[in-house]
Amino acid sequence: MAPAAKEEPAAMSAFERKRLENIANNNAILSEISTTAAKIIPKPAPPKPKRPSAPRVKREPVQREPLRPTRQSSRLAGLGADADVLKRKAEVEAEVEAEKAKAKKMRISGDLNLGDIQVEGRKWEAGLDGLAGLKGLPVRGAQPGVRTFTDEDVKSTTDKGLKDLRLRMSGLKLYEKWPVQDIKIVPQRIYSMGFHPTEAKPIVFAGDKEGAMGVFDASQEPSKVEDDEDEEAELPDPVISAFKTHSRTISSFHFSPVDANAVFSASYDSSIRKLDLDKGISTQVFAPADPDEDLPISAIDMATSEPNIIIFSTLQGSLGRHDLRTKPSTAELWSLTDQKIGGFSLHPLHPHLVATASLDRTLKIWDLRKIQGKGSARAPALLGSHESRLSVSHASWSSAGHVATSSYDDRIKIYSFPDAGTWSAGAELSESQMAPTREIPHNNQTGRWVTILKPQWQRSPRDGLQKFVIGNMNRFVDVFAADGEQLAQLDGEGITAVPAVAHFHPTMDWVAGGNASGKLCLWM
């Protein structure tokens, strides 16, 4: 059988031929692009071989020197470049500054001559000359048991009398011989004030926060200006004397009941001093035996019947009694509370009764006739107490048996003990007896820069009507009667700060107020 003939491939269409040509052209273009790119783009460098990791070595921390004070020129100081000399110099300077700071707050135990401790400044350049008019003041005798307010006086009081009293007290005028801004009685904030008991002329004492005592005689007359036609001529400053009698805040003044030339002052520097106005000498009469012992004294008081006994309270919560005829080491000190006693007072007619006000929020009545307990627990008998919502700043007895307190719950409380003279030694007072008879709303929030507001009674009012004064945060001084009725709100032109420290003259209707700038407001 003959083999089959081979089939001829089919003829390629024009479309297929064109497709193959396009594929061939595209491949040629791609090949050409790859060749050109290989010539332009450099080949990547071969990777570097990895080095074997070495073990980490711990480094010791670098010790940095502490910062040193700013360098000073040794050449100008005349010193060489010796590091030991410079170091010793810095140590000596630091020691000197520390000693100066310590010495500034240390109390001075010896007698002080006022001529040597005069406060510097133009306002107080009068010095001892300013006290010349205080010499020869009449001697005041003690008047124990003399009542200036009786039950009959209370019964006979009518609304008309209250009105007359209000008119009289509101009629007090601000001192006009000098403006308030010119009567800068002490350099710093006033913490305590007192009127000399003489009725011959108003003499005001003030103590400031740094231990300076100022004295102002309000009876002086301004010096005449040479050129009367010059209306703008500056008025000469008043004569004011100021002395650095203490190293810290002067907290209280008291005037001897028998010696018109004796003024007692107490301070946070733990000392009580007696100033002799006639001799110009300030003598320390009490201080702890150890000069490093801190016993800040908050208040002092004396009985007219016992002119040699001084009672004092401390910020450590204790009450002390010292006989001025004995050594300070023999003074009695009783711990009454764990918190500070801000103020206290003796009953003017029954001085064995003590009213204390404390940070523990209480008013307490104590009897010095009965000292009980042993050792550190020894203390006067506690007759009764009354607790307020917040701390009580001061407790002030009137001669008629009222106690006025100020406290941080914005209240003035008046307590009445008309029969205090009949109490037996150590008698216990009931809760109802210790309750206040009147509470007066009063802003007592003094803050940091204003001295604490404290009520002060007129000790022996000539009219027999009991009244007290207290500073007002609205830049007034308030006057209240014993029944809580307000008698006046004293003000005047030029009062630009709160006269927080207010004080009544013992017998005259003279009122003094002191502010944080050391300036005096006086109403007469």
Looking from the CA of 319 toward its CB, the CA atoms found within 13 Å total: 27
Pick the more confident residue, 183 or 17.
183
CA distance 499 to 519: 9
Write out the DSSP string of 335-389.
E--SS-EEEEEE-SS-TTEEEEEETTSEEEEEEEEEEE-SGGG-EEEEEEEEE-S
The predicted structure's pLDDT at residue 154: 33
Residue pair 404/347 in contact (Cβ under 8 Å)? The answer is no
CATH class of 151-221+237-523: mainly beta
Pick the more confident residue, 164 or 354.
354
Number of CB atoms found within 10 A of residue 283's CB: 13
- Judge whether residue 451 has pLDDT over 60: yes
Q: By C-alpha distance, which of 409, 360, 411, 412 is closest to 382?
A: 360
Pick the more confident residue, 249 or 95.
249
Tokens of 408: 């941080």
Q: By C-alpha distance, which of 481, 474, 387 is closest to 161?
A: 481
Tokens of 126: 């009068």
Confidence of residue 228 (pLDDT cuts 50, 70, 90): low
The predicted structure's pLDDT at residue 112: 80
Tokens of 165: 């009293």
CA distance 481 to 485: 5
Number of CB atoms found within 10 A of residue 277's CB: 20
Q: Which residues contact 59 (CB under 8 A, 6 or more apart)?
A: none
- Residue 513: phi and psi, rounded to 5, are -135, 140
Strands (E), 378-466: 379-387, 392-397, 402-407, 411-416, 438-441, 456-457
Burial class (CB in 10 A: 0-12, 13-18, 19+), 501: buried
- How many percent of the chain have pLDDT more than 70? 81
- Judge whether residue 480 has pLDDT over 80: yes
- Judge whether residue 332 has pLDDT over 70: yes
Residue 147 Cα to chain centre, angstroms: 36
Length of the chain: 524
Confidence of residue 94 (pLDDT cuts 50, 70, 90): confident
Confidence of residue 227 (pLDDT cuts 50, 70, 90): low
- Judge whether residue 72 has pLDDT over 70: no
The predicted structure's pLDDT at residue 406: 97
Q: Which residues contact 521 (CB under 8 A, 6 or more apart)?
A: 174, 175, 180, 477, 492, 495, 499, 512, 513, 514, 515
Predicted TM-score (pTM) of the model is 0.73
Tokens of 515: 């502010």
Position 523, amino acid:
W
pLDDT in tens, 136-180: 665 443 333 333 223 343 334 466 778 888 888 888 999 999 999
Tokens of 98: 């520390």
The predicted structure's pLDDT at residue 30: 80
Q: By C-alpha distance, which of 317, 320, 268 is closest to 297?
A: 268
Highest averaged pLDDT of the listed ranges 51-55, 59-63, 143-147, 365-369: 365-369
**Segment among 26-30, 171-175, 446-450 with least mean pLDDT:** 26-30
- Mean pLDDT, the chain, rounded, equals 85
Query: CA dihedral in degrees (500, 506, 510, 511; nearest 10)?
Result: 10
Residue pair 215/250 in contact (Cβ under 8 Å)? The answer is no
Q: Give the chain's largest Cα–Cα span.
A: 179
CA distance 466 to 400: 7
- Judge whether residue 3 has pLDDT over 90: no
The predicted structure's pLDDT at residue 40: 65
**Segment among 88-92, 130-134, 247-251, 276-280 with least mean pLDDT:** 130-134
Pick the more confident residue, 67 or 423.
423
**Segment among 5-9, 148-152, 213-217, 357-361 with least mean pLDDT:** 148-152
- Judge whether residue 351 has pLDDT over 60: yes
Q: By C-alpha distance, which of 246, 259, 317 is closest to 286?
A: 246
Residue position matching structure tokens 């020197």: 65
The predicted structure's pLDDT at residue 156: 46
User: What's the whole-number mean pLDDT along residues 210-228?
Assistant: 86
Q: Which residues contact 305 (CB under 8 A, 6 or more apart)?
A: 142, 144, 351
